Structure 1
Amino acid sequence: MAGFRFYDIGPVAIAMIPHPAVTLLLDLTERGVVCDSPRSPVAGSVVIGLRAGAFRIAGTGPGEVLQIRLSPVVAAAMLRDTEAIGGSVTPLSNLWGGSAALLTERLRSAPSWNERFTLAHAFLRRRVPENTAVAPEFVYAWDQTVRTGGRLRVETIATETGWTRQRLWSHFRTRLGVSPKLAAELVRFDRAAHLLSAGRSPADAAVEAGYADQSHLHRRTKAITAMTPTLVASAPWLAIDEIAWPAG
């Protein structure tokens, strides 16, 4: 979890870059935050799925946002909505109804960020059914995808889990709404995006993140975000990642 505050210095519009996680964006502002997704603007608290691409969040005055990143494995157990997990942007109320509004009000009135984190954590724990069972092969497949930076072949992961390639693909699509190949690409792109944000050249970022060359990185970046690597490098959301999500 991370808390963000923006001040009344005029309209706010911040580009968000795809991340290999399912993101809950809890709007704690009075005037409201709008997620300007590729499909249509969505106001208030939202679930940002794995196919969200790049989009902007906008506000017209001062406000606060609580952002929670969920491992797709955890999201599969907690949200139980494949369309939201693998989709773009979904209003949180579509998944949790009045509970989402109640949580937002409690978070808004909490006196500190630490108390907000505690409230959100307790709420999320209650959203996981007691009888939830996630296949260990699925957990292993996701962990290996992250550990290897998205470079491990799907066939290799399937062999290591003891599943067939077809079963692994089916499980990913059923639980996450995306293929293992797209999941691996999101992990690989996330690495490249953060290298670019840190000042590395597109050529260096491409090699270190596992792309064939700079042109390959450029094509895939355009496909995923509709932005060039140069624009991705300057995205402010990446620049604050090291503060909001420190290693460990």
Structure 2
Amino acid sequence: MAGFRPRVPAPADITMIAHHSVTLLFDLSDGADLAHDARGRYGRGSVAVGLLPGDFRASGRAGEVLQIRLEPVAAAALLGAPADLSGEAVPLEDVWGRDAAQAEDRLRAAGTWGERFTAARDILTRRLTELTRPDTRPPVDQEVAHAWRRTLGSRGRVRVGSLADEVGWSRKRLSARFSSQLGIAPKRAARLVRFDHAAHLLAAGRTAAGVATESGYVDQPHLHRDVKEFTGLTPAAVATAPWLAIDDLAWPASPPPAPMHQRP
């Protein structure tokens, strides 16, 4: 979770690149002030952003925004199968239901960011408890959940064939179930996770050649290819891109961002 508050009343302008999570942005202003644009589709207010959103931008005079990132397995339990969100940004109420407005009101009423983070955890926990029961099948197979967590833990350097062997499935079956339940093919998920690790290293000042080697790329051109695909930029430009400064804990080598923010 991360909380954002502008230092001065001025329009906000945030660019979000592809990330290996489903992102919820709660607009806590007095009224739907956060405008968002994903692939030419415009909307206002709180929004859910799926995996691989493409060119996603949020702007407006939003007073405060709470960002919650959910790993795809957790998002499937909390929102339903996130395949419907892949590459999309949709109004939060479309995936959260009528309770979205109540969640916004509770978060808006919290007096401090600490209270707001606590309230957010409680809201997520209650929703998970209500939606998951012992007699219902989880939305994500345990084999798929294992494959995702291995992909994340290996920083995208585990092969799909190896994952299939670990869970006792064929590669074709794993790819099909992984894609349908998480909204992204396992090979592409590995590329996305590997890119995210490489971006951290680039932001920390490492050379592109060193990052390519450390991140498991065949060579530097393959790193350039992924960075270009996921950001539209070169590795050198990624290292100083403004969106890397939004989270000074995840990106400690970056300069302080323009908006104030706090994290739990």
TM-score of the superposition, structure 2-length normalised? Answer: 0.85
1:130 matched to 2:120? no
Residues in 2 aligned to 1:37 and 1:130: alpha-carbon distance in whole angstroms: 31
In the alignment, structure 1 segments of 5+ residues that lack a partner are none
Alignment of 1:140-219 (within 5 A): 140-219=146-225
Please report how far the alpha carbon of residue 74 of structure 1 lies from its aligned counterpart in structure 2 after TM superposition: 0.7
Alignment of 1:46-65 (within 5 A): 46-60=47-61, 63-65=63-65
Match of 1:36 in 2: 37
Q: Secondary structure at the match of 1:207?
A: helix
Q: Secondary structure at the match of 2:205?
A: coil
Query: Which amino acid letter does the alignment assign opposite residue 118 of structure 1?
Result: T
Query: 1:211-248 deviations in whole A, cap 9, x for unaligned?
Result: 222221112222222222233222333224342699xx
Over aligned residues, Cα RMSD in angstroms?
2.1
CA distance 1:126–1:245, shift in 2 (3 Å):
farther
Query: 1:185-210 deviations in whole A, cap 9, x for unaligned?
Result: 11001001111111122222222112
Match of 1:78 in 2: 78
Residues in 1 aligned to 2:83 and 2:162: alpha-carbon distance in whole angstroms: 27
Q: Secondary structure at the match of 1:14?
A: strand
CA distance 1:23–1:86, shift in 2 (3 Å):
same
Residues in 1 aligned to 2:40 and 2:161: alpha-carbon distance in whole angstroms: 33
- Where does structure 1 differ by over 6 angstroms across 4 or more consecutive aligned residues? none
Query: 1:92-133 deviations in whole A, cap 9, x for unaligned?
Result: 011123211221122111101122112222221232223252
CA distance 1:231–1:38, shift in 2 (3 Å):
farther
Query: 1:4-46 deviations in whole A, cap 9, x for unaligned?
Result: 2113363321222322111111111236112232232332111
CA distance 1:84–1:227, shift in 2 (3 Å):
farther
Q: Provide the identity percentage.
A: 50
Query: Which amino acid letter does the alignment assign opposite residue 132 of structure 2?
Result: E
TM-score of the superposition, structure 1-length normalised? Answer: 0.90
Query: Which amino acid letter does the alignment assign opposite residue 167 of structure 2?
Result: T
CA distance 1:58–1:143, shift in 2 (3 Å):
same
CA distance 1:225–1:168, shift in 2 (3 Å):
same
CA distance 1:160–1:212, shift in 2 (3 Å):
same
Residues 51, 87 of structure 1: 8 Å contact kept: yes
Residues 36, 56 of structure 1: 8 Å contact kept: yes
